[in-house]
Amino acid sequence: MLVLKLIIISYFAYLLVGEVTNGTLNFDSTFFIFMGVGFFAQVIDGALGMAYGVSCTTLLMNFGIPASLASASVHTSEIFTTGISGLSHIKFKNIDKGLFFKIVITGTLGAVLGAYLISDYFDGNIIKPYISAYLILLGCYIIYKGVANKSAQNKTVKKATLLALIGGFLDTIGGGGWGPIVTSNLLSQGKDPREAIGTVNTAEFFITYFATVIFVFFLGVKHWQIILGLITGGALAAPIGAYIASRINKRALFFMVGTLIILTSGYTLYKSVF
């Protein structure tokens, strides 16, 4: 993770030097707005295992940014936020190593394929309503499990590699969804919430890293103010979210995750339909 982060930081530093030299990099209130957005989105994402990509992409599209560029901007910023979040989850021992290696490879393959298709061929907005409807139902089930106190057992997860492949693909196609799809499904199968959230967040670094490589190759890097704002806010918040995940009550986690899925997916469904 550290080596990959060093490579991408060096490349972005090179691009930023060019922007500064050409006088095209300017800062105004947009930077600070998205710094705040990145901070709060990452606190939620680090603590509950989801919502950074969904919330940030939704906001960018409301600003009139096309779906492909919105997804590219969010995934570019997520390289930094998920890297810090992943290292923080490792420090707080929120990781299931066996599950991590099951999801990281196929998740990355799915994300790369999705990034390639949305960059050149596919409109990710087409599939969003169907995924949102599915997630609303899953969110209700997760709340039920938390209320019924059925989260005590840390069960073995079935079909984790296939789940990660689908989650990675839909994440880049829809501008977010790795956390809601993978974390929520792991929880619905009885996985310990702390380990599910920590493992999915750590694997997300690799998913976003290689998806961003595809985005940069096809679309380049645009909207620097937004990207830098999201990176700065998210980087500050990442350790806080990981700490919260390591301390919070399991039943409370189930309830908050389920509620968050219903709210974000409901809003996405509403925007897609109306």
Give the tokens for residue 65. Answer: 């940014």
Q: Is the model's pLDDT at 151 over the cut of 60?
A: no
pLDDT, tens only, 180-199:
789 888 888 888 888 998 99
| 118, 172 contact by CB (below 8 A) | yes
Average pLDDT over residues 7-14: 90
- Nearest Cα neighbor of 107 from 54, 178, 6, 159 is 178
Q: How far apart are CA 224 and CA 16, in angstroms?
A: 9
What is residue 217's predicted lDDT score, i.e. its pLDDT?
87
Q: What region, left, alpha or beta, does residue 98 occupy, with left being phi > 0 and alpha being psi -120 to 50 degrees?
A: alpha
Q: Is the model's pLDDT at 29 over the cut of 80?
A: yes
Percent of the chain with pLDDT over 90: 20
Angle formed by the axes of helices 29-48 and 250-273, nearest 10°: 130
What is residue 155's predicted lDDT score, i.e. its pLDDT?
66
* Measured torsion, CA atoms of residues 42, 48, 53, 56, in degrees rounded to the nearest 10: -50
Q: Is the model's pLDDT at 125 over the cut of 70?
A: no
pLDDT, tens only, 190-241:
888 889 989 998 999 999 999 999 988 888 888 888 889 999 998 898 889 8
Q: Is the model's pLDDT at 172 over the cut of 80?
A: yes
When comparing pLDDT for 45 and 199, which is higher? 199
pTM for the predicted model, two decimal places? 0.78
Q: Is the model's pLDDT at 92 over the cut of 80?
A: yes
- Nearest Cα neighbor of 92 from 236, 231, 232, 197 is 197
What is residue 207's predicted lDDT score, i.e. its pLDDT?
93
| 94, 241 contact by CB (below 8 A) | no
* Measured torsion, CA atoms of residues 63, 181, 164, 236, in degrees rounded to the nearest 10: 60
What is residue 126's predicted lDDT score, i.e. its pLDDT?
76
When comparing pLDDT for 63 and 194, which is higher? 194
- What does each C-alpha distance from 137 to 30, 127, 134, 228, 250 come to in angstroms? 35, 16, 5, 35, 20
Q: How far apart are CA 85 and CA 237, in angstroms?
A: 8
On average, the pLDDT of the chain sits at: 83
Confidence of residue 257 (pLDDT cuts 50, 70, 90): confident
| 200, 182 contact by CB (below 8 A) | yes
What is residue 154's predicted lDDT score, i.e. its pLDDT?
60
Q: How far apart are CA 76 and CA 205, in angstroms?
A: 11
Q: How far apart are CA 245 and CA 45, in angstroms?
A: 10
Percent of the chain with pLDDT over 70: 94
What is residue 150's predicted lDDT score, i.e. its pLDDT?
54
